[in-house]
Amino acid sequence: MPHYFIWTIGCQMNKAESQQIAGYLDSAGYQAAASFSNADLVVLNTCVVRQSAENKVLGTLGLLKGLKNTHPDLQILVTGCLVDSDSQELQRRFPHVDLLFKPGDYPELIDWGHKQGMPIDQKLPRYPRNDGWMAPSPCALIPIIQGCDNFCSYCIVPYRRGREVSRPVGEIVCEVTELARRGIKEVTLLGQNVDSYGHDLPGHPDLADLLRELSSIDDLARIRFLTNHPKDMSLKLIEAMASLNKVCEHLELPVQSGDNDILKAMRRGYTVERYRELVHTLRSKIPHVSLSTDIIVGFPGETEEQFEHSLSLVQEMRFDVIHVAAYSPRPGTIAWREYQDNVAAEVKKERLHKIEELQTAIASEINSQLQGKEVEVLVEGKKKGKWFGRARSNKLVFFEDAGDWLGQLARIQIEKTSPWSLKGQVKNN
């Protein structure tokens, strides 16, 4: 039986798409391998959102070139955001690659597979896999909208993933109902901007409408969604979150900068004041909502004073988690065309460390307040002898217990906290 190995880097959307690709390869009689070296077919699901990710992709492509020299029958497929409209240029640079296909372009994959004599089932449902290739998990990732219409000046995603296309409500509800029947307890709805969901569908249903529909699925315990856009998040959505018990109190709400001039240059479409107001509304309607954000430091022209504005916003907002990145120019984007990457690398590094240091202190303080409290944890697996899972707030929780907790909702009393995770013991009867 031939074997495949899927190498995935980048966002949750890539992870969801890799699950789908695994499903297609399974249908063709392939079996998951544990590494590149045991595989007859390799899929690289790539990300080029930051230079560091692109470097990893290029390094892996180099490694595969060596592998193909020694195993000429190895088939190499590349998808994800590396693949742009000029795939001929990519094919010229990487002649050892057998197929380049755009993210989510499954017809191209199926067509290629059929030409190779692979009996890929093209009617395979979109259900994410929950066995074999990945460790069994009670959680599933569900893409609900592809692409992005926003064109933030630093971002390559709209050029690679195209304009927004929403999946119909009925299709998503059917998929989640089937997953819940198979034992999935939690779904995370995915989109580059989930707040745009539905504007292109007949009748214009929105994310709040979709959450209501999904909440009525009996066996489903939890719903999450990401990523939100501060300019598009509606009061209707906040109120739906507040009123629907299955929707977890956690949001990914990228601010990117605490300075209005930088936000304007980034073309984010909101001000710091609008962001602050949004967080205030969220916290007043959904007490204890946990907030994650993204910040870019060293955007072209960012002065020390403008960086200080980001730092003081972090101090003021008290986010639960921050993903901080140093700006790197992405060829083809507006910022790459119009601005000079003029903040020195060591200054970017220093600013990144300042945000991380401040956030570590804030997260440590926020998490320490959970000491002695009970949280509900959906148990996702075991690591080094300890069960782990996520609280509704998305905080990672570990505990030790002899029982079989996989896929169960455990009540955990928190005994130890750190900025990154919590530890406790089971309180269920």
Residues in 170-199 at the binding interface with ligand SF4, rule: CB under 6 A:
192-193
Pick 50 or 222: Cβ nearer ligand SF4:
50
Helix H or strand E segment including 426: strand 421-426
CB 370 within 8 A of CB 376: no
Tokens describing residue 381 = 């697996």
The secondary structure of residue 230, as a DSSP letter, is: T
CB of 120 to ligand SF4, least distance (A): 30
CB of 193 to ligand SF4, least distance (A): 5
Pick 152 or 414: Cβ nearer ligand SF4:
152
Pick 155 or 240: Cβ nearer ligand SF4:
155
Tokens describing residue 160 = 């690679």
How far apart, in whole angstroms, are the C-alpha atoms of residue 304 and residue 298?
Answer: 9
* 290 φ, ψ (degrees, to nearest 5): -100, 140
How far apart, in whole angstroms, are the C-alpha atoms of residue 271 and residue 262?
Answer: 10
How far apart, in whole angstroms, are the C-alpha atoms of residue 58 and residue 38?
Answer: 21
**Counting contacts by CB under 6 A, is residue 420 touching ligand SF4?**
no
The per-type count for the chain, helices as H runs and strands as E runs, is 13, 18
CB of 267 to ligand SF4, least distance (A): 8
Residues in 298-357 at the binding interface with ligand SF4, rule: CB under 6 A:
none
Exposed/middle/buried for 347, CB within 10 Å: 0-12, 13-18, 19+? middle
CB of 197 to ligand SF4, least distance (A): 13
Instruction: Tell me which stretch binds ligand SF4 (CB under 6 A): 17-25, 152-160, 207-215, 373-381.
Output: 152-160
How far apart, in whole angstroms, are the C-alpha atoms of residue 195 and residue 203?
Answer: 16
Binding residue for ligand SF4, selected from 28, 110, 157, 317, defined by CB under 6 A: 157
How far apart, in whole angstroms, are the C-alpha atoms of residue 316 and residue 409?
Answer: 34
Helix H or strand E segment including 410: strand 409-417
Instruction: Tell me which stretch binds ligand SF4 (CB under 6 A): 6-14, 148-156, 404-412, 414-422.
Output: 148-156
Residues in 223-282 at the binding interface with ligand SF4, rule: CB under 6 A:
229
Site size toward ligand SF4, by CB under 6 A: 10
CB of 301 to ligand SF4, least distance (A): 19
Pick 148 or 363: Cβ nearer ligand SF4:
148
Pick 151 or 420: Cβ nearer ligand SF4:
151
Pick 156 or 220: Cβ nearer ligand SF4:
156
Tokens describing residue 83 = 């693949």
Within 10 A of 371 (CB to CB), how many other CB atoms are there? 13
**Counting contacts by CB under 6 A, is residue 150 touching ligand SF4?**
yes
Amino acid at 133: W
Binding residue for ligand SF4, selected from 22, 100, 155, 217, defined by CB under 6 A: 155
Pick 165 or 361: Cβ nearer ligand SF4:
165
Within 10 A of 350 (CB to CB), how many other CB atoms are there? 14
Pick 30 or 270: Cβ nearer ligand SF4:
270
Pick 175 or 232: Cβ nearer ligand SF4:
232
The secondary structure of residue 391, as a DSSP letter, is: E
Pick 185 or 229: Cβ nearer ligand SF4:
229
Within 10 A of 73 (CB to CB), how many other CB atoms are there? 8
**Counting contacts by CB under 6 A, is residue 419 touching ligand SF4?**
no
**Would you call 380 helix, strand, or coil by DSSP?**
strand
Q: What residues contact residue 271 under an 8 Å CB cut-off, 6+ apart? A: 260, 263
CB of 229 to ligand SF4, least distance (A): 5
Binding residue for ligand SF4, selected from 55, 62, 151, 400, defined by CB under 6 A: 151
Instruction: Tell me which stretch binds ligand SF4 (CB under 6 A): 16-24, 144-152, 316-324, 396-404.
Output: 144-152
Helix H or strand E segment including 26: helix 12-27
CB of 232 to ligand SF4, least distance (A): 9
Interface ranges with ligand SF4 (CB under 6 A): 148, 150-152, 155, 157-158, 192-193, 229
